[in-house]
Chain A
Amino acid sequence: MEPYVGGDAAVEALERALAHAKGAEEAEAFLTVRSGEYTRFAGERIHQAQDIVERQLMVRVVVGGRTARAATSRIEDPGAAVRTALALAEGGAGGGRPASHRVAAASPYPELDLWHADVEAWDAAARSRDAAHAMREAAAAGGRAYGMFGRAVTELAVATTAGVRAYAAATEASGALTVKAGGGSSYWCDLGRSAPALGVREAVERTVAEAARSREPVELPDGVQDVVLGPLAAGELLHFFGAFGFTGAAAAAGVGAVARTPGARMAAPSITVADDALADVGLPFPFDIEGVPKRRVDFLTEGRVGEAVTDLATAARLGTPSTGHAHIAREESPAAIPANLVLAPGTTPQDELVAGVERGVYVQRFWYTRVVDPQESTITGVSRDGCFLIENGRITRPVAGKRFTESVFGLLSRVDAVGDRVATQALMNVWNGAATAPALRVRGFRFGPRP
């Protein structure tokens, strides 16, 4: 498995782009490439065997203080994109404030362990074998398996007229599995830079067994229960830190936790959350699309509010250096966002988390969670898949999914123990985005509507 474009060709394409930007005061260009293979299966077949390469070269120019971008998939001809960007910048003169941020200058980047040769072996044939194994095991247990096993290479190159020349390539392996049996179900997902680290065969065994135990779940009544949130449920809570004010845009607008409650205790002392692109979990990466080195940004340190992620534009507004979190999402304006969220693990094994609950619920994961009130950090969603009653410190009967509406900071402030093992899930609509968390024991979680 090799990078689709490669470092030399990527940087050369960007240099050709910058060479066309002579009319600009400043210019930056980046190239993202993702070559991914995805084996999707459902029931008794692999229904979507996919092999997809996507790439985009985007250039940003500053002309007369105005900025504009243009992108192309045709890296052989970056000149056309540059000419488009120059024309847009020149045509846009008179609109908006002059560009307050410049392009990045060369900086040293952190050395990270991005390339795992073991991903090579997890090719289409190997993934098909794993899919067949999962479908067979589920069928043997009287259930059906649905899932996706995939691998990818992600490349990012950046060049600026201020001297940045950066390139990195990273492997990625991901797996997700849903097993349904008798009205119950269980789910597993994980992703990272290494394929064997996923432990796919063990995950299949575990998920099939949990699904078999989850048959004929009982309804959960409305009310407040102590819960153990599994690593995937806990990780879902991290998805919302951007919406709760841990971004440069929110901080600059004076809204959200960083702007309004800096240093305040919003979670239990056992809770430390960071956006940490340098971590050895999730999807680490050394720099962002502006060529700025990524650094760890502490959101909650022992429960207290820390700082926000920034890009060059929001850092300029806040008068701080960029933290290296520039991002451009599809059909959205550019914005600094978290990309490798990590909730620090504790020391409590999962059995002990459960043993500490006399009567409560184990929640494997949440589904379709959405922000209801960012001020109160309130989200709504449903619990689902391998959820079980906890009785006298032991997991007993399966329970059906249930809607909840809860404050994330409220939940995190009621955590009294943190698990020792983590799982990683992808961040939706975030390039190279991941959230990693351990299980959490929470005293008081309301199922059903708010009173």
Chain B
Amino acid sequence: MTHEWGSAHDDETARALCETALGAASGPGVGYADVRLVECEETRLYGRRGGERDERAELNLGVGVRVLLDGVWGFAAAPLGDEADIRAVAARAVAGARAAAWASDERITLPPRPPASGRHATEAAIDPFSHTGRHDLLDRALAAAGAPEKVVSAEVGLNAKRQHRHFADSEGSRQHQHLVESGATVMVFAADEHDVQRRSYPNSFHGNTAGAGWEYVESLRLVEEAARVGEEAVALLTAPPAPSGTGDLVIGPAQMALQIHESCGHALELDRILGDESNFAGASFITPDALGTLRYGSPAVNVTADPTVPGTRGSFAWDDEGTPAGRRELIREGVVVDFLSSRDSAARLGLTPVGAARADGWAYPPVCFATNVFLEPGSGSLEELLDRLGDGYYVDDNRSWSIDERRWNFQFGTEVAYEVRRGRRGRLLKNFSYGGVTPRFWGSVEAVAGPVEFRAFGMPCGKGEPKQWGFLGHGASPTLVRDVRIGVA
């Protein structure tokens, strides 16, 4: 697909603007500076059954400048107008750092890094911005989702995003990434006089968005799946409630993605571990000395961070402070071996940064966010895993989630649960919930299904003050967990 859209596709022009910013982000005490110039375009089409369409396109272009002055950070950002705007942004970043410097006893020294420069582009077969037929697909999916009699609300959304992300720093890195995303969401509510039930596809909470072209949306079989979740929402109205007690579970990939996000991804963010997010996003039960010693889960638990895996919202070639992407183990056979770190947080512990500094567009400073944080697959099929389960429950698709600020105690609900008897899926159950304590839960993982069952999901997340969005990838195969507390809500 074409990369030649917008104002920032041309490397020469963008680099000249970045050089202007770097030139202005200087002065006494400035030891490091970087600039991110980002142009982002999104298109969204939403429809509700029986309602109007809402279609929108959004374009934003701006610049964010970060400086390290006497070991203290300053950051400023503004929409891009002309070169004067850029110089003003850089000057504000320096002024902010200078005002903060006298109040800071702790100073940061970044270990030098060799420059890394180049271009990277998402592989996209079908350009989502020139593809036609979205309205037709939306109409058919809405009709399918809303067909059952007791469906009271059906919403379908189709979305795409493309970005030019330019990065330059005072150490010589010059990078341009052209990132493309495509996604869809279906959400159905069914109601009777006693109850309201929800089903979603391809994931709950904003559906799913992939780092890919429109071919991803075409692969979703959206109309057939919309019909399925519509029928399931109605079936849930008369399904028996899930029981309370203790149970063995096979948790499906969508719910596992959320489980990983909340109880692995966030817990392993090094800025949280060091306290930087204590006032807003929270801290972590993991301590800085956990590397190589903290048993997080059973030997079946292997968690990696790998932005080089294509296809999700956590896929990229360099993070938002220019660190090259690479595969890193975070948990090896149940033991913590690395953190999701930025240059700042890694420097404070003398570690090599993982490349997990990420920022929402140009307007926010990079913080530690998950990239593609995956539970590595084990072996076998879902059916084999259910056989191994024996009696228990197969659950998937998140309905509600909550976890404490240390990422220790969690409680999740799922949209669907199926009773499993002697390895066979049986009755549909509603209002399933489970809860636990993070290392105990991961310590109860008995097995993970194989690569053929692996699914990855793109997820939005919030962090920072003011809150910024992070767009991440999490994935897993169905996972067998024993002795889980269920029916907690």
Binding site for B on A (CB under 8 A): 36-56, 58, 66-74, 76, 80-81, 84-85, 88-89, 91-92, 94-100, 123-125, 127-129, 131-132, 135, 144, 146-148, 150, 176-178, 180, 187, 249, 253-255, 313, 317, 328, 330-334, 367-375, 378, 380-382, 384, 401, 403, 405, 428-429, 449-450
Contact = CB atoms under 8 A, between A and B. Distances in A.
B411 interface: yes
Interface in B399-443: 399-405, 409, 411, 413, 431, 433, 435
A326 to B, nearest CB: 12
B65 to A, nearest CB: 10
B93 A42 contact: no
Nearest to B405: A367
Contact of A450 (B52, B53, B196, B488): B488
B279 A42 contact: yes
A403 B401 CA distance: 12
Q: What 8 pairs between A and B have smallest CB-CB spacing?
A: A95-B135, A96-B53, A46-B100, A333-B46, A45-B104, A124-B99, A69-B56, A132-B103
A99 B52 contact: yes
Given A49-B75, A382-B409, A38 B279 contact: no
B275 A144 contact: yes
Contacts of A99: 52
B347 interface: no
Interface of B: 44-48, 50-62, 72-81, 92-93, 95-97, 99-100, 102-107, 132, 135-136, 138-139, 152-153, 155, 157, 159, 189, 191, 195-196, 206, 274-276, 278-280, 282, 344, 363-365, 399-405, 409, 411, 413, 431, 433, 435, 460, 462, 464-467, 469, 485, 488-489
A52 B364 contact: yes
21 contacts: A42-B278, A44-B105, A46-B100, A48-B365, A49-B99, A51-B95, A54-B363, A88-B56, A95-B53, A95-B135, A128-B103, A331-B460, A333-B44, A333-B157, A373-B489, A378-B489, A384-B405, A401-B404, A401-B405, A405-B488, A429-B467
A419 to B, nearest CB: 24
Given A73-B59, A95-B47, 11 more contacts: A49-B74, A51-B93, A69-B57, A72-B58, A88-B57, A92-B45, A96-B53, A123-B99, A146-B275, A187-B279, A403-B404
Contacts of B195: 375
Contact of B57 (A71, A73, A378): A71
A68 to B, nearest CB: 5
A368 to B, nearest CB: 5
Contacts of B409: 382, 403
B53 A66 contact: yes
Contacts of A80: 59
A450 B96 CA distance: 49
Contacts of A100: 52
B445 to A, nearest CB: 22
A72 B402 contact: no
Given A73-B79, A367-B404, A81 B59 contact: yes
A84 B464 CA distance: 33
Given A36-B466, A56-B58, A146-B275, A44 B106 contact: yes
B75 to A, nearest CB: 5
B189 A255 contact: yes
A94 B47 CA distance: 13
Contacts of A187: 279
Residue among B54, B157, B469 having the largest count of chain A Cβ atoms under 10 Å: B54
Given A38-B466, A46-B104, A405-B489, A92 B56 contact: no
A331 B278 contact: no
A24 B100 CA distance: 50
A51 B191 contact: no
